[in-house]
Amino acid sequence: MLKMSRPDGNEEEHDGSIVLLPGRDDIGARLDRYIADNLPDLSRGTVQQLIESGHVLVDEQQRKPKFRVTPGEVVTIEIPPPLEDEIQPDAIPLEIIYEDADIIVIDKPAGMVVHPAPGHPRGTLANALVHHVPGIAVGGSRRPGIVHRLDKDTSGLIVAAKTDRGRTALVARWADKSVEKTYLALVWGTVEEESATIDAPIGRDPKNRQRMAVVRSGREAVTHFRVVERFVDASLLEVNIDTGRTHQIRVHLAFAGHPVVGDAIYGPASKSSVAPRQFLHASQLGIALPNGERAHYSSPLPQDLERVVEILRIETRAAM
């Protein structure tokens, strides 16, 4: 299962269009349970209301909550905006890495919520995109097509569709798993392996439904990492993911005993962070453009995270 067109930012945001693609491990799952399991911030009751009100389509057809999903189907969830039918434009500067008639690649700063939601009606990436592209129209509304997620406090590369053609192309790229996404993560502890793979299912934390966790009943999740640099009690990793589970990198690294530095949810409460926020940055993006051309984009560490690395290098040299 791959998540696409999901509203980004903090975990309480659910305004906009979401696309889910059932995989082999989803065969026969009830539609309402499948959506609730993969969008942990939506209760099952809310999901059932969305289905009954026609806001959920399976291959562009309305289904009942008890409908059984099948791999290859496209499940689209339209979540009614809490405040306004149209996203309002905000003149927020954007660091544009690439743009054509159909898509746009942005280097998102940390702290920017991606899509409007209760508590964040304005000042989001979506508001900025509507201002930057006055004629933007995806899915019959004046909205950008946000096709993958970055948490509010994660910086780096994110791609959005400006047109239905762009959205269709991006959804196809996620479906065929040809998108290459690389992250830089600073984690607690000295990672001994030069590289490793974490293959552990992720689902809702049974003790806290607002968190995710490695659980036996969860969905398949695979994360690869290699060590870029080691410091005193910390390691800088390059991370790639085969799947797109909620909080996958943060959950898997914490499960491996090396939580992301600055992670207030999955990190150790006893450690004072050397980072001003969670040290997770989407540094590289490889994708086929709508015209079929393969492109690769890079984003260097932002200054706040680069300063952390410089401090750790000084401390490490002093300890040698």
CA–CA distance, 241 with 224 (Å, rounded to integer): 6
CA distance 181 to 280: 13
Closest C-alpha to 40, from 206, 269, 181:
206
Q: Are 104 and 170 in contact (CB under 8 A)?
A: no
Q: DSSP string of 97-125?
A: EEE-SSEEEEEEPTT--SS-BTTBSSSSH
User: Which residue among 15, 32, 151, 153 is the active-site one?
Assistant: 151
Tell me the one-letter amino acid at 80: P
- How many Å apart are CA 251 and CA 69, to the nearest integer? 27
Yes or no: say if 283 and 150 are a contact pair by the CB < 8 Å rule: no
Verify whether residue 107 is a known catalytic residue: no
Tallying the residues shown for the chain, one arrives at: 320
Segments in the chain forming alpha helices (H): 31-38, 44-52, 125-132, 164-175, 248-255, 303-319
Active site residues: 151
